[in-house]
A and B are shown apart, each in its own frame.
Chain A
C-alpha cells in the first residue's frame, strides 16, 4: 500500500489467507492432544420413541473401547439440560427439558441415546454400531401446522398442542386497511426447511484438567463467550474454570451459534476418563444433529389501493422449531422476522400471528439471514402479487411505496426505527446496470416466440448489527449484544487487537487491522487481531446477525480514541508543547506546522512502554480497552434484479443474470464486502432453485447427505454484477452497516419473482420452493390444462 492510500476503503489482501492456502488452517478436527480419546454418538433411528433399554455389553468389550455412557450417567454427574438463550416475552413460551443425551424418550432422528469412547475414532464407530437399544415407537409429526391440529402426537407431554409460543406483532389498523382496500392478494407460502451445510462439520475437543478443576474446549463456534456462559449453566463448572477456543472455524451461517449437546458430552467424557476427548461429526450426522433453518408455513395477505398504494399486511405463521429449543430458536421467527414486515415500504398497518411449534424433527435455529429472509420473501412476494393484480410493473409499484429518504430515523408500523435509508438511488443504479427497459423489451420479444424469460426485482432493507442490549433484553434474549476491544501496543510498535467477536471466514482479522492502520498510522501487517479464545479476549457476544463490524468497530474506535488522546499528552510533554498545539496525522504526533520534527506513534509507544519520561499523571503503557453498546440496529438496503429463462419442455431454469446494488454504509474493504455479497446471493438463490430438506411422515430425513441435498456448484451460477451506494449510519463511529446477510435476504425473493415472471404468460401463479424442473414442469402442465 502506498503512503497516500488509506487502509480504510482499500482491498487489502486478507491476513488470514497465508495459513489457509498452505494447509496450515487450525480447524478443530486438526487438533489433537496427548492421550486423546475419541467419541462417537449413538443416535436414534426413530423420530419419536421410548428408550426402553440401552445395552452396551457387547460394545464395551470391543477393541479399544474405553466406556459407553448414557443420559442417566450424565445426569448423575450433575450435567443438566441444554439451555435455550431466548424466551420471547408476552408469549407464554414453553421450554421443555433438553437432556444432552435422551434419557427416556427420543424426539427426532439423530437424537443422542449414548456415547462411545475409544482409543481411535474407527474403534468408537465400530462399537457404536454394537450398542443395542430397544425402542418403543410413538406417533410422529413433522409439519408445523399439522402439529397444532387436534389429535396430533405430542412431542413433549407437557406442551399441549405442541405450541411453544404464540407471539403477535401489530401496528396500525389492519381491519380498516383490508376493508378499505381496492385489491387484496394472498397465498400460502411454504418457506421450506434448509440445511446450513457449513463446509466444516462440527467438532469439539475437551481437555479436563483435574489438577485445576478446569476445562478447555476447542469447538466450532461462532461465539465462544456465549458457549462458555451457557456451558457454565449446564455442566456445573464455573465460568472462570472454562476456556472455550474457537480456532479456525470453517463457516457457520448460524449453524455454529448454538450450544450443542456434544459440547457438554465431550466435557463430561473428558472428566470421566481424565483424558482429552474429541468428537467430529460426519456430514450425514451433521444433517441430523446440527440445526436446520427456515421452515415456515405462512398464510399471507396484502391490501392495496387501485393505484398500487399498499395499505396493509396480514399474516399467520407456523414456525417449525424442531424437537427442542436451540439457543436462539424462538428469536428467529419472532423478533428477527415479524418486526421486519414493513420491508423498505410505507405499510401503515401490519399484523402477524406467529406460532412456534414443536415437531419430531431436527431443531431449527438461525440460518444466514435468520427470520429476515422469510420476512423479505413474504413482503416482496406480496408486492409482486399486487403488481400483477393491477398490471403494474414491479419497479413502479416499489417506487410508489418506498420509504422516502431519511437520515434521523424512520419508524415503521411494527415499531422499529430504521437508522438511515435512501432507497431510490440503489434502485435507479440497479435498473441502469441491468438495462431494465431494454431487458423488458427483449423479454416481450422472447415471449412472443414462446420463450419463458423472467425478470425479478426486489428492493429490500434488513435489520442487522445486533444490537442495543436494552432491546436484546426487552425481546427476551438472555444476553447482551454489546462488544468490547483491547488495543495493546507492544514496545516495538506492533499491535495486538483483542476482540470478543469471533469471525470464521468474514475476514475481520484484516478489516479490523485496516481500522487500526487507518486511524493510528501503523501498517496492517503490524496488527494481529486476536479472537476466538475466551482466555485471551475480552467479553463479546460473537459473530452472527451481521453484527461483527458494525458493533465491534465501535469498541475498537473507542480504544483508538483513548490512545490518540494519550499519545497527544505524551507527545506534548516530549515536544515541550501545549497539548492543544499537538496534532496527530498519519501516525505522526507533531506541533502544528512542524510535522518534520514530530514523533512517530512508534516513538510515543516506546516512550510509554519504557516510561522513563512520562508527563505528570499519565500512566505507563500504551493500551486501551473499550466497550460499545450500539444505540440502534443498522439497516442496510439495496435493489437486486435477476433474469432467468425456463425451458417450457423440461422445466429447467437457466439462471442468466444477477445485478445487486447494496448499501452497507462506508466500505472498509471492497474485496471482502463483494465476497460476502457473492456468497449471500448464492445461498439465497439456492433456496429458490435447489435446496430443501424433506422428511417423510415417519420423520426420516430424506435429504440426509450431500448426495440428496443440493447445495450449489460453480456451474449452476451466472457471473454477478455488483454496484453500491453508501449511506452511513449514525449508530457507530465509522458509519458502517453489516453485509453478511444482505445477499441472502435480497436474493431469495428476487430469483423467485423472476421465475414466476417467466411463467406468468402460462398463468402459473405459485410453485413451492425449491423450484425443481419437475415442479415447474408439473405446474406448467397443470396451467395448460386449466388447473393451478
Chain B
C-alpha cells in the first residue's frame, strides 16, 4: 500500500507491505540508518524517534499508522548544522560509549526535557526507563540529560513542535489510527 511520511522535513511516498514497521520504513525505505534496532520486544528504545512531536519506539508503530505524519529522527535533530543541546551534552558528559543506544536515548531525552524543563536526577532516571544502555551504567547519560535540562531554552530552534502543540503518545496513536482508517 502507498503511504507518505514526512521524515526530517522531507515527504517520502513509498509503496510498502502493510506489515512494515516505522523503523523499517525509516531504515530500509528512506535509507536513514541512525535509528537502530536493539530488540524485538519493544524494550530497548534504541529505535526511538519523534512522531508528530512525541517520542515513540518506531519498532512498535506500523508505518501505515504514521501515514501523513511527521517524523524526526536523530539525523534531523540538528538544525542548520548546529547540534541540539542534548547531542552536545551527551558528548561533553561522555553519555555514550559504543553509541548503539545513543540515537534512541537522545530522542527520548529531548522529549523528556521539553516536557519537564525542571527535571531532576531521579525523574531523569525514571524518564529513561524505556531506553536501555549496556555500556555507561547510565551515570553519564543522567548527567548529560541534567545538563541539557539546565541549558533548556523553550525558544530554541530545536523545538520541533511548539509547546502548546505537544501531544501524548496516546494521542499520536489515536491520530495515526484515524489516518489509517481514512
Q: Which residues of A contact B (CB under 8 A)?
A: 11, 13-14, 16-25, 27, 29-30, 122, 197-201, 248-251, 253, 282-284, 504-507, 671-672, 674-675, 678-683, 705-707, 711-715, 717, 719-720, 743
User: Are A505 and B135 in contact, CB atoms less than 8 angstroms apart?
Assistant: yes
- Provide the bound-state CA to CA distance between A2 and B32, in Å: 38
- Residues in chain B within 8 A of chain A (CB atoms): 17, 19, 27, 32-41, 43-44, 46, 73-75, 77-78, 83, 87, 90-92, 94, 96-103, 106, 121, 124-126, 128-129, 131-142
What chain A residues lie within 8 Å of B41 (beta carbons)?
Answer: 283-284, 705-707
A17 proximity list for chain B (CB < 8 A) = 90-91, 96, 99
Known pairs A200-B36, A705-B41; list 6 more (Cβ under 8 Å).
A22-B87, A251-B134, A504-B98, A678-B136, A678-B138, A705-B43
Complex CA–CA separation, A672 to B135 (angstroms)? 12
> What residue in chain B is nearest A281 (Cβ atoms)?
B40
Q: Are A717 and B91 in contact (CB under 8 A)?
A: no
State how many angstroms separate the Cβ of B151 from the closest Cβ of chain A.
Answer: 16
Among residues of B, the one whose C-beta sits closest to the C-beta of A680 is B137
Rounded to whole angstroms, the CA-CA distance of A671 and B139 in the bound complex is 12
What are 5 A-B residue pairs whose CB atoms fall within 8 Å in the complex? A27-B100, A197-B134, A251-B100, A672-B94, A707-B41
Is the pair A714, B138 in contact by a Cβ cutoff of 8 Å?
yes
Taking a contact as CB atoms under 8 Å apart, the answer to whether A23 and B135 are in contact is: no
**Chain B residue contacts of A505, Cβ below 8 A:** 97-99, 135
CB-CB under 8 A from B96, the residues of chain A are 17, 20-21
Contact A715 B126 (CB under 8 A): yes
- Distance in angstroms from B105 CB to nearest chain A CB is 10
* B99 pairs with A25, CB closer than 8 A: yes
A25–B34 touching, CB < 8 Å: yes
Collect the chain A residues with CB atoms within 8 Å of residue B78's CB.
22
> Which B-chain residue is minimally distant from A253 (CB atoms)?
B134
Most buried by A among B94, B103, B133: B94
Give Cα distance in the complex from A284 to B39, angstroms.
Answer: 7
Known contacts: A678-B140, A681-B137, A706-B44. The answer to whether A23 contacts B39 by CB under 8 A is: no
How far does the alpha carbon of A196 sit from the alpha carbon of B5 in the complex, in Å? 36
Q: Is the CB of A21 within 8 A of B102?
A: yes
Indicate if the CB atoms of A679 and B97 lie closer than 8 Å.
yes
Assuming the contacts A705-B40, A706-B44, asked whether A720 and B90 have C-beta atoms less than 8 A apart, the reply is no
Contacts of A22 in B (CB 8 A): 34, 74-75, 77-78, 83, 87
Q: Which among B38, B126, B134 has the greatest number of chain A C-beta atoms within 10 A?
A: B134
> Which B-chain residue is minimally distant from A198 (CB atoms)?
B134
On whether the beta carbons of B38 and A682 are closer than 8 Å, the reply is no
Within the complex, the shortest CB–CB distance from A616 to chain B, in Å, comes to 48
Q: Which residues of the partner chain B approach A712 to less than 8 Å between Cβ atoms?
A: 137-138
In the complex the two chains form, is B19's CB within 8 Å of A21's CB?
no
Q: How far is the CB of B139 from chain A (nearest CB, A)?
A: 4
Chain B's nearest CB lies how many Å from the CB of A502? Answer: 12
**Complex: how many Å from CA A743 to CA B139?**
14
Contact between chains at B99 and A714 (CB < 8 Å) = no
CA A24 – CA B94 in complex, angstroms? 18
User: How far, in angstroms, from A18 to B133 measured CA to CA in the complex?
Assistant: 19
Residue of B nearest to A18 (CB): B91
In the bound complex, do residue B17 and residue A122 qualify as a contact, i.e. CB atoms below 8 Å apart? Answer: yes
Residue numbers in A under 8 Å from B98 (CB-CB) = 198-200, 248-251, 504-505
Contact residue among A23, A197, A282 (Cβ-Cβ distance under 8 Å from B75): A23
> Could you say which of B92, B103, B125, B129 contacts A23, with CB atoms under 8 Å apart?
B103
Task: With both chains docked as a complex, state the minimum distance between the C-beta of B96 and any C-beta of chain A, in angstroms.
Answer: 6
A713 and B99 form a contact (CB under 8 A): no
CB distance from A59 to the nearest CB of B (A): 19
**B91 and A715 contact, CB distance less than 8 A:** no
Check if A715 sits within 8 Å of B87, measured CB to CB.
Answer: no
A250 touches B100 (CB 8 A): yes
CA distance A571 to B138 in the complex (A): 49
- A11, A505, A707, A714 pick with most chain B CB within 10 angstroms: A714
The 10 residue pairs across chains A and B that have the minimum distance between CB atoms: A23-B34, A250-B100, A20-B99, A505-B98, A682-B137, A23-B74, A30-B33, A678-B137, A706-B43, A505-B97
Complex Cα distance, B87 from A24, in Å, reads 13
- A14-B136 Cα distance, complex, nearest whole Å: 14
Of B73, B128, B139, B141, which one neighbours A719 at CB under 8 angstroms?
Answer: B139
Q: Is B97 a contact partner of A714 (Cβ separation < 8 A)? A: no
Q: Point out the residues of chain B lying under 8 angstroms from A16, CB to CB.
A: 99
- Report the bound CA distance from A18 to B129 in whole Å: 25
Q: Is the CB of B91 within 8 A of A711?
A: no
Contact for A122 among B19, B38, B91, B126, CB less than 8 A: B19
Q: How far is the CB of A590 from chain B (nearest CB, A)?
A: 36
Give, as a whole number of angstroms, the nearest-CB distance from B138 to chain A.
4
Known: A199-B46, A200-B36, A714-B141. A25 touches B100 (CB 8 A): yes
If A21-B87, A23-B32, A284-B41 touch, does A711 touch B99 (CB 8 Å cutoff)? no
A710 to chain B, nearest CB (A): 10
**Nearest B-chain residue to A747, judged by Cβ:** B137
Q: Closest Cβ of chain B: how far from A72's Cβ, in Å? A: 30
* Neighbouring B residues of A19 by C-beta, 8 Å: 99
Interchain CB contact under 8 A, B135 and A679: yes
Query: Cβ of A199 and Cβ of B133 under 8 Å apart?
Result: yes
Give the docked Cα–Cα distance between A201 and B98 (Å): 13
Q: Please report the C-alpha to C-alpha distance between residue A478 and residue B144 in the assembled complex, in whole angstroms.
A: 43
Whole-angstrom distance between the Cβ of B75 and the nearest chain A Cβ? 4
Which residue among A674, A713, A720 has the maximum number of chain B CB atoms within 10 Å of its CB? Answer: A713
